[in-house]
Structure 1
Amino acid sequence: MLSPAVPGDRSGTHVYATLDGLRGIAAALIAIRHAGPLFPGWEFPHSPLAVDLFFVISGFVIASAYDRRLENGLTPMGFMKLRLIRLYPLYLAGLLLGLAAGMLCWLTGTDPRLSAATLMGPFLVGLLILPSPFTWNNETFPLNPPAWSLFFELAINYIYAVAYRRVTKARLIGATCIFGALLLIMSLNDMGLDEGHSWPHFSTGFVRVVFSFSAGLLLFRIRRRVNISSSGSVLVIGLAGATLAMPNLGQWYSLVAITLWIPVLVFFATMVEPGARVRRACLLLGQISYPLYVLHSPAAVIVESALARVGVVHPNAVIGVIFLGSMMVIALWTDRFIKALIGDRFRGERRMQSSRPDIGGSPAVTTSNALQ
């Protein structure tokens, strides 16, 4: 059965459930990566590609939800207010949890680099969702490294809102070509394409977000009719999970995945919507993806530190599975609690079931030191 992707999606009324499924699976793989000591032997070296997946999805769904509203007079500041209402409460929860994790590492002597002064600088700067010049591990957001992609998410969102009327299909094609070429140059020079979270490679994050977000906007401009197919939806989600879970296939794999394969996956994901049962699972995965993304890294630090204190230095993967399941439940509860707390102020964003990593991000992709 076919139904139009438009008319509803330009006003944000169409929910792309398959995109939610993609985000949820990607966020889970990122959590496993960042909680590496809890998952011995579970290595997903290409899971950082989740950030690029998140940004492509973000570009598509931001356009779906806000193109018409910006056309009808929504100001860039009004748009950013809505985005902050959506992103900031959970971001703040992750920042506070990161501060707690840092204090625990300091007080227990787990990381001798930490002190009250060391932690307070990144915390105060982090309240503004800005990269911190005060860092002990080269991370731009040392208390909660995955937050680097949220900074880039908000930055590219603002650029989109300001330049909305000039963002034509031709210019989007130009942007993806230019920044795709930059990714190629970076790859040829052996620059890691999974970077952007640390200060030495901060510019890499900018290139990744501009390419992927532009690709997402472009995909919305060329979207097609939606086919209701649970099997197709599950296939696309499975392919995305496999893409992120591959063993190390080198830099060229990452380049092809970012510039070609991930946009293709997202394009097909927007064309297939699942039936009722799979749809419910996808929407649930989408609901937990952002809180899981922003809470998992400092939570993993706390769990690892607590286990070390009771003598569990080398936990097995069973503990990791319990951790991931618990984090999913906590993510779901936290998301619902914050939505209820915000109430009517969240209503303007409630339509955006598939807004992101909300993965920047970021689901996040970092290779943190003390707080990984």
Structure 2
Amino acid sequence: MKSTENSVTSSQWAILAALRFFLAAVVALGHFALFVRHDPTHIFGDAYLNPGSAVFGFFILSGFSIAASVDRESKGFFRRRFLRIWPLYLATIVFGLCVELLIPNGFPLPFGGTVPTASGLSIVASLLMLQTIISGPIPIVGQIWSLSPEWWHYMIAPWLKKVSDKLLMIWVMLSLTAFLTINPPIGHGIDVLSHGLPFLNLSWLWITGFLYYRLKGTAAGFAILAFPSVFALTLGHFTGAPLFISIFVVVMSAEVRISPKLIKVCNFLGDLSFPLYLFHFPAMVLALRLGSNRSAITLAAMLAASVAALYLVDYPSRKLFGRNAARAAATQSDRLARPVKIGQDSA
């Protein structure tokens, strides 16, 4: 296993943050093109920058980032993941269920498909990160299907740190075989299949990112990152532009240095990417339900909801829990540094 301590620069993280925003924007614009305004140039939707391939790019980027996280500091990993995911995730579910109050009988989308109301099972499954395992996700926030397989990869990441490169390569090949065998690997649009398959047949994407972090800068690393995706594409499973853009950026970003100001901009876009991914769909449905018939208004509503979630949920939760964590660490440090008198209970 190759050591990769502290080998990702601030410039590279910023570039990858901007990549996350690009992928989230592809998903949002793709859903808009599929369900609201068809794209005559076939750039978004089911064409070159389709949402499915963007999600595949997210999986690779997630695996790479988590490998870096557990390599840098395993202690507190689960807490960091919980605080990064769950405040916004729960806020999305609440927002989506509130939008459902305006569509008690479901909502027909302008260019096909219907957003049905949530079942009790889909709510329970979503709250437990078991969407696509025991049920589909809450339909109004159907894009959260991808968080379930990602989350369970997070849960085993500290263990994966101990797994050899060879075993991870075998894992990639087995998962890729499942991906090529089971068709479709995921549901289309908001009608996500719920057979417990995404963890199995999309794991190769996440693991290639995880493994590439260990092997980056080597021929073997590049091969394990790129070959499975190229092979899957040649068999016609998906249009892979966002996925291949992700692979290219992950590889090339290690050689790029950018200015501090640009780092700040990229990091902000990275912060906005997760709220945009989570909130764009219910915000789009809300705008349509309230009578929006202009693309600019609907797209602005999607962006506004995402920015609001960033400033009202994500940043405050980071500040609150970060302060509490710092206070707890300081308290523990004080206790350890405090002199103990003879005969005094050190507890």
TM-score normalised according to structure 1 size = 0.67
Partner of 2:308 in structure 1?
A: 330
Cα pair 2:60 2:207 within 8 Å, conserved: yes
Equivalent runs, 1:289-328 vs 2, <5 Å: 289-307=273-291, 312=292, 315-328=293-306
Query: Retained in 2: the 8 A contact 1:193–1:254?
Result: no
Q: What is the one-letter code of the residue matched to 1:127? A: L
- TM-aligned CA distance change 1:113 to 1:260, over 3 Å: closer
Q: Output aligned runs, 1:62-141, within 5 Å.
A: 62-70=66-74, 74=75, 79-106=77-104, 110=107, 119-131=119-131, 139-141=136-138
Gaps of 5+ in 1: 226-248, 349-372
Question: Radius of gyration: which is bigger?
Answer: 2
Q: Label 1:27 to 1:133 Cα distance change in 2 as closer, same or farther (>3 A).
A: closer
Where does 1:8-87 land on structure 2 (aligned, <5 Å)? Answer: 8-9=6-7, 16-36=13-33, 37-41=35-39, 43-45=44-46, 46-70=50-74, 74=75, 79-87=77-85
- For the pair 1:157 / 2:135, whether they are aligned, the reply is no
Task: Look up the match of 1:173.
Answer: 169
Local SS of the residue matching 2:301? helix
2:184 corresponding residue in structure 1: 192
How far the C-alpha of 1:7 sits from its partner, in A, is: 4.5
Q: Which amino acid aligns with 1:170?
A: K
Deviates more, 1:118-127 or 1:78-87: 118-127
Measured after TM superposition, the shift of residue 180 of structure 1 is 2.4
**What residue identity is the alignment partner of 2:170?**
G
> How has the CA–CA distance of structure 1 residues 126 and 34 changed in structure 2, closer, same or farther, with 3 Å as cutoff?
same
2-side partners of 1:209 and 1:141: how far apart? 21
Relative to structure 1, is the Cα distance of residues 53 and 206 closer, same or farther in structure 2, using a 3 angstrom cutoff?
Answer: same
Contact in 1 for aligned 2:133/2:196 (Cα 8 Å): no
The more displaced of 16-25 and 262-271 is: 262-271
Q: Is it true that 1:223 corresponds to 2:222 in the alignment?
A: no
- Give the drift of 1:198: 5.3
Q: What whole-Å deviation, never above 9, does each CA across 1:32-68 have from its counterpart, x for those lacking one?
A: 2233455443742122111111111111111111124
CA distance in structure 1 between the partners assigned to 2:166 and 2:158 by the alignment = 18
Distance of 1:32 and 1:286 partners within structure 2: 17
Offset, 1:296: 1.5
Aligned with 1:64: secondary structure?
Answer: helix
Q: CA–CA distance in 2 between the matches of 1:260 and 1:277?
A: 27
Q: Give the CA deviation at 1:175.
A: 1.9
How far residue 17 of structure 1 moved from its aligned partner, in angstroms, is 1.0
The reply on whether 1:280 has 2:264 as its aligned counterpart is yes
Supply the distance in 2 between the matched residues of 1:175 and 1:265 (Cα, whole angstroms): 24
Partners of 2:243 and 2:39 in 1: how far apart? 29
Give the Cα–Cα distance (whole angstroms) in 2 for the partners of residues 202 and 346 of structure 1.
Answer: 38
Instruction: Compute the displacement of 1:6 (Å).
Output: 5.7
Q: What SS does the corresponding residue of 2:128 show, helix, strand or coil?
A: coil
Query: How far does residue 208 in structure 1 lie from its aligned partner after superposition?
Result: 4.4
Q: Amino acid of the residue matched to residue 218 of structure 1?
A: L
Q: Which runs of 5+ in 2 are unaligned?
A: 109-113, 219-232, 328-347
SS at match of 2:101: helix
Partner residue, 1:268: 252
1:177 to partner: Cα distance:
2.4
Q: Which residue identity lines up with residue 103 of structure 1 in the other structure?
A: L
Is the contact between residue 179 and residue 211 of structure 1 (CA under 8 Å) also seen in structure 2?
yes
Q: Is the 8 A contact 2:17 2:267 kept in 1?
A: yes
Alignment equivalent of 1:147, drawn from 124, 134, 144 = 144
| Offset, 1:256 | 6.1
Distance 1:258 1:180 in 2: 18
| Contact kept? 1:176, 1:215, Cα under 8 Å | yes
Q: Distance in 2 between matches of 1:105 and 1:251?
A: 40
CA deviation profile, 1:69-125 (whole Å, cap 9, x unmatched)? 33xxx3xxx533331122111000000011111121017x7479967xx55553344
What is the percentage of aligned positions where both structures have the same residue?
Answer: 24
Q: What SS does structure 2 have at the residue aligned with 1:130?
A: coil
Q: Tell which has more relative contact order, 1 or 2 (C-alpha 8 A, sep 6+).
A: 1
Query: Structure 1 residues 338 and 38, CA, compared in 2 at 3 Å: closer, same or farther?
Result: farther
Amino acid at match of 2:250: V
| Structure 1 range deviating more: 140-149 or 202-211 | 202-211
- Report the equivalent of 2:229: none
* Matched-pair contact (CA < 8 Å) for 1:195–1:202: no
* Local SS of the residue matching 2:238: helix
2:111 is aligned to none
CA distance in 1, matches of 2:97, 2:57: 28
Q: Shift of residue 155 of structure 1?
A: 0.6
